């Protein structure tokens, strides 16, 4: 039986260890940030120059200035850093 997308996100998130820096590419990888186990602190980088990306925002809390490389609205953690180049 094939895994659902949600199962893939969950399995992937469980592989991430506390303190890692992880680059999330466009597509399915962007969903992994929503499945990180409690107590595990991972710093996510969005491919468009944001280090410290948080999970997707709740409905009504979107900030159109915070997007990932796939143009989806995201949140930022308190220690976020933006860079270009």
CA distance 67 to 82: 12
What digits encode the pLDDT tens for the residues 4-50? 999 999 999 999 999 999 998 888 998 998 999 999 999 999 888 89
Domain that holds residue 61: 5-82
Confidence of residue 78 (pLDDT cuts 50, 70, 90): very high
pTM beyond 0.85: no
Question: Count of domains in the chain?
Answer: 1
The answer to whether residue 15 is catalytic is: no
Catalytic residue selected from 7, 14, 47, 61 = 47
């Amino acid at each position: 039986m094939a895994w659902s997308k949600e199962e893939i996100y969950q399995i992937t998130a469980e592989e991430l260890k506390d303190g890692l820096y992880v680059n999330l590419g466009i597509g399915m990888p962007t969903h992994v940030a929503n499945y990180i186990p409690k107590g595990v602190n991972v710093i996510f980088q969005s491919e468009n120059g944001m280090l410290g990306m948080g999970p997707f925002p709740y409905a009504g809390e979107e900030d159109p200035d915070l997007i990932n490389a796939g143009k989806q609205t995201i949140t930022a953690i308190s220690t976020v850093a933006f860079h270009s180049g």
